[in-house]
Structure 1
């Protein structure tokens, strides 16, 4: 805004200078015009109008730029902001939104709502399955979006070539248990591939910009949704609603399990390596090989993550 005002002042002085110069050149040797003549007066009016038009256009361009920036700026709070500053930011935001106090009007309210919901649902972690080939790049750079991987030129293998969800700028995550139907399909394609399950800190849910999909993100019921609506706390809560073909009361679900087994979270930001708390394998040989190259990392063998969610939940309650 300050730059905009400075530019306006500069343009105003240039216009005044040009106007004064035309008057001072009356009868001068280098002047080819005479002040007071119809031609000079007409030219001055034209220059005046052009200057005003330039100022008007510049003003509109600056306003448009500020509008675009306000729409796409990342509303991420600083972790160093204290509680009083958070309250002030929320209050200002509510005033600007005519007193509206909801999860979309204040990013701090949204963070607290997500934290509260995670606590009530006892969500322990997120998971992401990938081929072991990708482990070196993940440990070095974290989990990157498909777009970021392509730009970086990193060597990696992907599971979904089509990405029908239409959000290549995201990392696909699941709450508490992997999308076992998709995971099983990929494992059947080539049984020789070694897979790893990444256990990711739940704080990603409120620290990253995420989209919450109560069905598979590639499901038409999700792809037709407005992406902004999928980034709300309401969308996260909807992952735990009863569905037309599924009632939570009759399903063998943990408190933190989304109703649909293919429900997923799309992180629009990369998942940093320090958010990966453990590496899960389905065999001791695979884990031993990992430990040889990455000693000190948390690695475990847990075949339940490589089975169906129903089987895993029934086995735990039996």
Structure 2
């Protein structure tokens, strides 16, 4: 290459691009700068680890046809929830409005978590809380299941404070942790080899064990609310008015007793 050719090349990188292009057919010629730009755009489109986890959880929810996430609470807490959503005990300690706790402390000690359940509630725990609260009215709120992947959630096959959970290993977050809530198990002393889920007639979107729990580690906005389940028409009217007054007239109100919907001793799913 003579001096004139050298002078015509503005920089070393440009020269290398030209030399590289000479070795390729015209239709394949592309500068390094263009290649770097394409790689950069491809990397920008690559999903993050968190997005992949969210996609997996969403896929499980869809495959299982999970329609709602439940949270039971004293009816007195409904106005605060309609304004501020579901908040953890840690946050509610500084709330500027009245909050009514069902127990003095959480059994698992996780004051930064909000406990919810998938598709059904745990009758044994709910009945115990209602008994301790006397005649106070309760409401079971239904939330959109998308919160399972839009919020940081921990999934427990059994209650978070149980011995079964204490000795269980594995990650609590992500799609695989959610899938474990629906893992089947064989029925002991069953010559037919019937699975636990089939034997108890569980729908695909109901966890295998009734005390399965989800801990939501972020506040849940009231826009996730889908509706409420109450026991009496009078409470239903009260909740309906509260929904309408807060601009949530699209939320449904179901009136029926708080009794297990699946009873198969010694297990009950509410």
Q: Is TM-score (shorter-chain normalized) higher than 0.5? A: yes
* Cα displacement (A) at 1:213: 0.3
Contact 2:102–2:133 (8 Å) recurs in 1: no
1:123 aligns with 2:72: no
Q: In the alignment, which residue of structure 2 is the partner of 1:163?
A: 106
* Cα displacement (A) at 1:161: 2.4
| Aligned-residue CA RMSD (Å) | 2.5
| Count of aligned pairs | 213
Instruction: Provide the C-alpha distance between the structure 1 equivalents of 2:104 and 2:42, rounded to a whole number of angstroms.
Output: 47
Q: Going by fraction, where is strand more abundant, 1 or 2?
A: 2
1:286 corresponds, among 213, 222, 235, to: 235
Unmatched tracts of structure 2, length 5 or more: 1-40, 188-194, 265-270
SS of aligned partner of 2:253:
strand
Q: In the alignment, which residue of structure 1 is the partner of 2:254?
A: 301
Unmatched tracts of structure 1, length 5 or more: 1-82, 91-105, 313-318
* Cα displacement (A) at 1:85: 6.6
Matches within 5 A, 1:87-236: 87-90=45-48, 106-223=49-166, 229-236=171-178
Contact 1:165–1:223 (8 Å) recurs in 2: no
Instruction: Provide the C-alpha distance between the structure 1 equivalents of 2:110 and 2:185, rounded to a whole number of angstroms.
Output: 24
Q: Going by fraction, where is helix more abundant, 1 or 2?
A: 1
* Cα displacement (A) at 1:225: 5.6
The TM-score normalised by the length of structure 2 is 0.71
The C-alpha deviation readout for 1:84-126, integer Å capped at 9, x for no partner, is 6774244xxxxxxxxxxxxxxx222211111111111111110
* Cα displacement (A) at 1:189: 2.9
Larger C-alpha radius of gyration, 1 or 2? 1
Q: In the alignment, which residue of structure 2 is the partner of 1:61?
A: none
Contact 1:180–1:308 (8 Å) recurs in 2: yes
Instruction: Provide the C-alpha distance between the structure 1 equivalents of 2:94 and 2:69, rounded to a whole number of angstroms.
Output: 26
